[in-house]
Amino acid sequence: MLCFSYTNLKKTKGEIKNPLGLFFLLVKNINQIITNRAYVTFCFFMIFVLNLVTQLYLAVPVKLQLLQSTDVNIGFIYSTGALLIVFLQVPLINRLSEEVAPTKLIALGSMFLTVGLVIIGFTPNVVGIYVGVITFTFGQMFIQPMMSKQISEIAPLPLIASFFGFNGLALAVGGLIGNIVGGFLYDLGLSGYPSVPWICFWRIRIACDDCVTTPRKKREG
């Protein structure tokens, strides 16, 4: 949030006459960020998306414990998803980003994330965990590049670095909530309520669908 683009500092360099000048510039930039409704709305919904993204590294070990398959190499399971990203992300995103809006691809990605989590949650065997991780990975492929593209389209050019910095705060909040709430839900699942976590994640996905309706503000500056 405290980042400044070089372009913006260069434009306002002559305006900074004393140490308070930088402070006032900071306040001015923050005000432009928080009053950009399209951007703030987008960051708000990205909190829900990041809530889902963080679940993979909690869901897999919990499910392995439920299946009493703790001897399975969990690193190999995660590597399967990582290989998909390496080989498929660039060609897939290049193709789809030309025809589909970033927010719609993010919503599609959140759907894959949730379906992957649900598969992991209800599978009776380790093979299902692999299927769930692969499905989840398709969602991850859409999220990060489309998030960056959407911010670059919303942000005024002189403040683009500040907009990316502020988005980092939203991602941190989403990750924090995801780990805390996710851990609590998985504990409920282990305590006799096995369906609770996966139903809650599906409800979060419904909230993520609102990303599709996020207004896209044309870049200024």
Higher pLDDT, 219 or 155: 155
Quick one: pLDDT at residue 135?
Answer: 94
Give the residue-averaged pLDDT of 21-47.
83
Give the residue-averaged pLDDT of 176-205.
81
Q: Is-contact 58 182, C-beta < 8 A?
A: yes
| 99 HSE (CA, 13 A, CB side) | 5
Q: CA of 106: how far to CAs of 18, 146, 162, 195, in Å?
A: 43, 6, 22, 25
| CA distance linking residue 77 with residue 211, whole number of Å | 30
The structure tokens listed for 131 are 């299927």
- Confidence bin at 112 (pLDDT 50/70/90): very high
| 89 HSE (CA, 13 A, CB side) | 17
Count of helices and strands (H, E) across the chain: 9, 0
DSSP states of 27-38 = HHHHHHHHT-HH
Quick one: pLDDT at residue 126?
Answer: 92
User: Residue for token digits 């896209």?
Assistant: 216
Quick one: pLDDT at residue 128?
Answer: 93
Quick one: pLDDT at residue 218?
Answer: 45
List pLDDT tens digits, range 50-87.
888 888 888 898 888 888 887 888 888 999 888 888 88
| CA distance linking residue 103 with residue 204, whole number of Å | 16
- Confidence bin at 130 (pLDDT 50/70/90): very high
**Position 12 pLDDT exceeds 60:** no
Sign of the Cα pseudo-torsion (93, 86, 84, 201, in order): negative
Domains of the chain and CATH, by start: 6-212 (1.20.1250.20)
pTM of this structure: 0.78
Quick one: pLDDT at residue 6?
Answer: 43
- Confidence bin at 220 (pLDDT 50/70/90): very low
